[in-house]
Amino acid sequence: MIVNTRPKEIGEKTNNLLIELKCNFIHLPLTEIKKFEPPGASKILLDKLGNYDAVIFTSQSAVNFGIKFFQEKFETAKYIPVISIGLATQSCLSELGISSDVPKTFNSKGISNLIKKRAYRKCLVFCGDKSPQLISMTNAEIDLFPCYKSQDNKNIDFERIKKLDASVILIYTYQSLEILVKNLTTYEMEKIILICASERILKLALNYNFKDCVLAESPLDKDILDAAMKMIY
């Protein structure tokens, strides 16, 4: 049984792909995404959008909740390069008529390398309420525009996992992994195969003593599900 842990706000695409693959799965969102009103100081930054070398979107949720603020000022700064952390985020922007580049690797390190390659000195980052890892990876000046928050889902029926003889669980974030750890016993963790969206998540999972951890080729749904399917068949 495959367990999709993505929040319901962005998990339906994964569910649809699982249906297409004729997989047995359950959708058990471990987190939920909530609108976060950007601080006044962050909104003021948009009045000086022309001062930035690039605008960065760190997730699909950053687009969904931050785009209206960006679009209000976009007309006066269409020349500013836009960077998406990955293809799914890029697709969200493309549907809104905004073109963007993606780094070679779909993570903060990839963005930092792109910033360095293009010699950007100042960037505005649309993100969640937690400071992105990118800040510690670049010498460029980074200003943040937080527009959503990811919080623990308080209504999780963990019995749906615990009663399974075996399960393949898709893990996309640190937060989701830590929720699992808090609610499962060591014995229950041993029955699980984790499909990890990044090397950082994989290392943390191993530190938490998960025994069967698989690193997907990338955080893309296709690569996550390819890794999961190999564990089933």
Matching residue, tokens 């564990």: 231
pLDDT at site 90: 94
| C-alpha closest to that of 138 among 182, 166, 107, 164 | 107
Residue 181 buriedness (CB in 10 A; 0-12 / 13-18 / 19+): middle
Q: How far is CA 205 from CA 88, 130, 137, 179, in A?
A: 25, 21, 23, 12
pLDDT for the residue 232 = 82
Q: Which of 24, 182, 180, 183 is nearest to 194 (CA)?
A: 180
Asked if pLDDT for residue 78 goes beyond 80, the answer is: no
Q: Are residues 39 and 145 in the same domain?
A: yes
pLDDT of residue 83: 97
Joined tokens for residue 148: 């959503």
What share of the chain in percent tops pLDDT 90?
79
**CATH, residue 98:** 3.40.50.10090
Mean pLDDT over each residue of the chain, to the nearest integer: 93
Verify that 75 and 105 share a domain, yes or no.
yes
112 plus 189 within the same structural domain:
no
**Residue 73: pLDDT band with limits 50, 70, 90:** confident
Tokens (6 digits) for 27: 């959708």
- Residue 14, pLDDT score: 94
DSSP of 152-206:
E-S---THHHHT-SSEEEEE-SHHHHHHHHHH--HHHHHTEEEEESSHHHHHHHH
The whole-number average pLDDT for the span 127-153 is 94
* 10-27 pLDDT per residue, tens: 899 999 999 999 999 999
Same domain for 26 and 42?
Answer: no
Q: What is the pLDDT of residue 220?
A: 86
Say whether pLDDT at 75 is over 90: no
Same domain, 17 and 88: no
Q: Are residues 111 and 53 in the same domain?
A: yes
Amino acid at the residue 214: V
Whether residues 44 and 107 share a domain: the answer is yes
Q: Please identify, among 151, 185, 206, the residue that sits at the C-terminal boundary of a domain.
A: 151
Mean pLDDT of 187-197: 92
CA 174, 180, 182: angle at the middle one, nearest 5?
100
DSSP the chain: -EEE-S-HHHHHHHHHHHHHTT--EEE--SEEEEE-PPPHHHHHHGGGGGG-SEEEE-SHHHHHHHHHHHHHHHTT-TTS-EEESSHHHHHHHHHTT---B--SSSSHHHHHHHHHHTT--EEEEEEESSPPGGGGG-SSEEEEEEEEEEEE-S---THHHHT-SSEEEEE-SHHHHHHHHHH--HHHHHTEEEEESSHHHHHHHHHTT-SEEEE-SSSSHHHHHHHHHHHH-
Of 112, 132, 151, which residue sits at a domain end? Answer: 151
pLDDT tens-place string over residues 109-122: 999 999 999 999 99
Rounded to an integer, the average pLDDT of 19-47 is: 93
Whether residue 32 is predicted with pLDDT greater than 90 in this model: the reply is yes
Is the pLDDT at 103 greater than 90? The verdict is yes
Domain containing residue 187:
2-30+154-232
Residues 198, 177 share a domain: yes
pLDDT tens profile 126-137? 999 988 999 999
pLDDT at 5: 97
Supply the pLDDT for residue 209: 84
Both 57 and 144 in one domain: the answer is: yes
Please indicate, yes or no, whether residues 41 and 103 belong to a single structural domain of this protein: yes
Task: Examine the fold and report which residue of 151, 183, 211 is the final residue of a domain before the chain moves on.
Answer: 151
> 145 pLDDT exceeds 80?
yes
Answer whether residue 165 shows pLDDT above 90. Answer: no
Residue 112 shares a structural domain with residue 133: yes
Alpha carbon distance 199, 105 (integer Å):
12
> Does 74 score more than 80 pLDDT?
no
- 47 and 91 in one domain? yes
Quickly state the pLDDT bin for 166 (edges 50, 70, 90): confident
- Looking at the structure of the chain, the number of domains it has is 2
